[in-house]
Amino acid sequence: MRSWTWTAQVFFTLHLLVLFMKMHSYGFYNGHLNETKRRLDSLDHPDIVSSRSRMPLERYPSTTTTLSQVRERLELESHKPPLKTLSELREELAMEITSPLGHVTYPENLTALNFLDFLCCPTLCYELEYPRTDGIQWLELFYKTLAVFGCIFLLTVTTDEFVLPVLDEAALRLQGRLSLSEGALIFAEAISRLLFPFMVIFLLVFLSIFEYVLGAFAEITCTSPHPTPTPTPTLHSKKKSH
């Protein structure tokens, strides 16, 4: 209805899907942390602590956890006793609502700035805290930004020169077709002529998004895919950070 170009339509459609997935991850994970915080607060009232509330905590794997590690953890947890002591459960719940780096604890993360930072981070999985680099490498950011516009230019040229003319020609020929076999032949010919341009467009889209766009936002937000090893936070360290 707004007569947008195909590039604008594709950009806003993909970006809208990304925002929906980010909002789902943010709300779902914080809902899990809210339930964990509620269980932790209920331990301050031993008279109302039931056997159900002493069940082991269901942990969500981190973004770096492999499928084999998840299976090993489930196998180990299946041999553990179903009930825990209050001290063990308190330690487990406190660790769950604290970031792996030990700097952020739920609900301190529920701020507009934290949500905006998550929207800019190149990830769909929300975490309380992400590993950060020391600063922005401006030269790297410039190269990635330049590469994004270069890929968009190549996408536009490929589409305008090798895709749209073929589609327009096929549409005109299909309007005057005489039989079903002739229409199938026109359709097959158009598909064969579009195979190589579509492959080029497919590779350019993945290259621009996953290498250059996400890499540029990683530089802007100073996020790093390779976190530095840090000690696992404990209940003592959590209290000390407060």
Mean per-residue pLDDT pooled into runs of 10, the chain (242 residues)? 80 91 94 89 67 57 68 66 67 86 89 92 90 89 93 91 90 79 86 93 91 91 63 42 38
Amino acid at 24: H
In a domain, 19, yes or no: no
Q: Are residues 92 and 143 in the same domain?
A: no
Does residue 199 lie in a domain region? Answer: yes
Contact 40, 97 (CB under 8 A): yes
Does one domain contain both 122 and 195? no
Q: Which domain holds residue 121?
A: 25-130+229-241
Report the domain count for the chain: 2
Q: Give the per-residue pLDDT at 72.
A: 75
Q: Domain for residue 17, yes or no?
A: no
Strands (E), 20-143: none
- The span from the CA of 83 to the CA of 50, in Å, is 10
Is there a single domain that holds both residue 38 and residue 125?
yes
List the structure tokens of 33.
């942390």
pLDDT for residue 216: 92
Q: Are residues 175 and 150 part of one domain?
A: yes
The verdict on residue 192 lying in a domain is yes
Residue whose tokens read 């330690």? 91
Are 63 and 116 within one domain? Answer: yes
Tokens standing for residue 203? 């590779």
